[in-house]
Amino acid sequence: MKKGIFLVTEKLHYKDNKLFFENIDLKTLVKTYKTPVYVYSKNQIIENYKNYDSALKDRAYLICYAMKANSNREILKIINGLGGGVDITSGGELYRALNAGIKPEKIVYAGVGKSEQEIIYAIKNKILIFNIESKEEAILINKVAGRYNKKVLVAVRVNPHVQTNTHSHISTGEEGTKFGIPINEVIDFFKFLSIQKYLDAKGLHFHIGSQITQINPFLAATKKVVSLIPKLRQIGIKIKYLDIGGGLGIKYKTEEPPTPVKLMKNLLKFVSKDLIIICEPGRYIIGNSGILVTKVLYHKTVGNKNFLIVDASMTDLIRPAFYGAYHNIVPIQVTDCFGENMDYYDIVGPVCETSDFLGKKRLLPNLENGDYLVVECAGAYGFSMSSNYNSRPKSAEIMVSENKFYKIRDREKYSDLVRKEIC
């Protein structure tokens, strides 16, 4: 590897000084589809899914991809083809899942704010289970289920009050968050559910956050939640499903998160084999499967700071602005003298916000205007959190598979920006 350059994405590699994703020369790809553009590796998605599959092979289980990470229909079709289901948090995600062919019996519905129309939609389509997060939600689901004379399967989302050492915006299992039922209230909550005529409460669910790179928070949460099962049995409630959520982190820079096999080997020691395990990986499946390619527009120096102004922005990838998240950034092409003329740059976009950056103080060569950069590990919460702020059309999405590539979403046009407006 050239001096100062490292790659964290398995399917990225330099060959003859050109950057390839799987077997695709990225410079050839961007000449066809322009920039900014999201590119995904089909084979990395499959490998990541199979890592979870292998980790759970000795148990009854269901892998429900957390589609909020990236809900493109082609990605959902790949998950469906592997036998997976999805974790949804809205009626729109349910629509996307069904449209992609996901079987309703492989769909779990989480989220604190399910509307009545969303609940109706889910019940009519016979999803597997609702993860309930409040008493008022339970009352509404029971009411709607009664209207259709259907008994629906529900789980209680438990807030186990464990610290995760992740960003506060994506920590969901600590005390004081909006998510779940406090663990000390769960037994009484199940008693309340047991008198709801149309609710069949047979599940426990927890999800403690995202980008967690240590095993201990998962173990602490599992032990706490599993300890509720004997107490529930004493009041006549038999738990059938244990939904352990998602949240397993990936490597963005120097992190060394556990593999799914290592995680499950430790976690499942505390889980009875008569339980059906549901897990909800999102970032782990798609995070390192996707990259964002952007073009250098201009150079600018202010005092002792160098800027590379590129055509991607916080509207394409908001994680750096929103979380202060780190994404490795590398050039699409290198030269034999690469490393001799290096400097530190802030990589910034065209949006009218100081927070519009993709990376700060990155050691890069003296690139020319029109050269390309790759933002690594952008598959999760990249396109799915993109916006039209500053009236910027959303980018295209491309899938690569070995030596083939194909478009899975068109780039938006200016006309798309006003298509639904009425005047």
Which pLDDT score, from 0 to 100, does residue 173 have? 39
What's residue 414's pLDDT? Answer: 98
Give the pLDDT of residue 340: 64
Closest CA to 174 of 182, 162, 166: 162
Strand-pair category, 37-41 with 24-25: unpaired
DSSP 105: G
Contact between 23 and 56 under an 8 Å Cβ cutoff? The reply is: no
Q: Tell me what the pLDDT averaged over the chain comes to.
A: 93
| DSSP structure string for 13-69 | EEETTEEEETTEEHHHHHHHH-SSEEEEEHHHHHHHHHHHHHHTTTS-EEEEEEGGG
* For range 19-30, the mean pLDDT: 97
Which residue has better confidence, 341 or 240? 240
**129 pairs with which residues across the strands?**
108
Quick one: which of 20, 6, 40, 74 has its CA closest to 287?
40
Residues 214 and 269: their CA atoms lie apart, in Å, by 17
DSSP letters spanning 203-220: EEE---BSSB--SHHHHH
Of the candidate ranges 31-40, 337-346, 388-397, the one whose mean pLDDT is the lowest: 337-346
- Amino acid residing at 146: G
Render pLDDT for 92-138 as a digit per residue (tens, 0 to 9): 999 999 999 999 999 999 999 999 999 999 999 999 999 999 999 99
Q: How many CA atoms lie within 13 A of 305 on its CB side?
A: 8
Split at pLDDT 50, 70, 90, the class of 210 is confident
Q: Phi and psi (nearest 5°) for 336?
A: -65, -25
The per-residue pLDDT for 335 is 73
Question: What pLDDT is attached to residue 125?
Answer: 98
The pLDDT value recorded for residue 169 is 41
| Pairwise CA distance, residues 312 & 329, whole Å | 12
Using the CB atoms, write b or e for 4-16: b if 16+ within 10 Å: ebeebbebbebee
- Tokens 């782990």 sit on residue: 284
Q: Is 337 a catalytic residue?
A: no
Contact 175, 161 (CB under 8 A): yes
Least confident stretch, 90-94, 200-204, 341-345: 341-345
The average pLDDT across 192-209 equals 96
Please state, in angstroms and rounded to a whole number, the distance separating the CA atoms of residues 92 and 15.
Answer: 41
Residues of the chain with pLDDT > 70: what percent?
94
Residue type, 224: K
Per-residue pLDDT tens digits for 311-343: 999 999 999 999 899 999 999 998 755 556 789
Residue 281: band (very low, low, confident or very high) from pLDDT cuts 50, 70, 90: very high
Say which CATH superfamily domain 110-281 falls into: Alanine racemase (3.20.20.10)
Domain-by-domain residue ranges, the chain? 12-41+288-418, 110-281
- The confidence score (pLDDT) of residue 1 equals 47
Is a pLDDT exceeding 90 seen at residue 163? Answer: no
At 418, the amino acid letter reads V
CB 292, CB 386: distance < 8 Å: no
Q: Which top CATH class is 12-41+288-418? A: mainly beta
> pTM to 2 decimals?
0.94
Residue 171 has pLDDT above 70, yes or no: no
Distance CA 364, CA 310 (A): 14
Average of per-residue pLDDT across 9-36: 96
**285: helix, strand or coil:** helix
The pLDDT score that the predictor gives to residue 174 is: 44
Under the banding of pLDDT at 50, 70 and 90, the label for residue 172 is very low
CA atoms within 13 A of residue 226's CA, in its CB half-sphere: 18
DSSP of 230-283: HHHHHTT----EEE----B---SSS--PPPHHHHHHHHGGGS-TTSEEEE--SH
Torsion sign over Cα 73, 76, 78, 83: negative
The residue annotated as part of the active site, out of 64, 279, 337, 352, is 352
For the residues 241-251, what does the mean pLDDT come to? Answer: 95
- Whether the pLDDT of residue 227 is over 60: the answer is yes
How far is Cα 202 from Cα 376, in angstroms, rounded to an integer?
A: 41
The letter for the amino acid at 278 is: I
Residue 301 has pLDDT above 90, yes or no: yes
Q: What is the CA radius of gyration of the chain?
A: 23
pLDDT > 90 in the chain, percent: 89
Residue 18 has pLDDT above 60, yes or no: yes
Nearest Cα residue to 141 out of 115, 108, 172: 115
Count other Cβ atoms within 10 Å, centred on residue 3: 11
Among 2-6, 164-168, 220-224, 248-252, whose mean pLDDT is lowest? 164-168
pLDDT of residue 3: 58
**Any idea what the Cα angle at residue 379 is, between residues 409 and 167, rounded to 5°?**
140
Report which of 118, 91, 124, 86 is spatially closest to residue 102, judged by C-alpha positions: 86
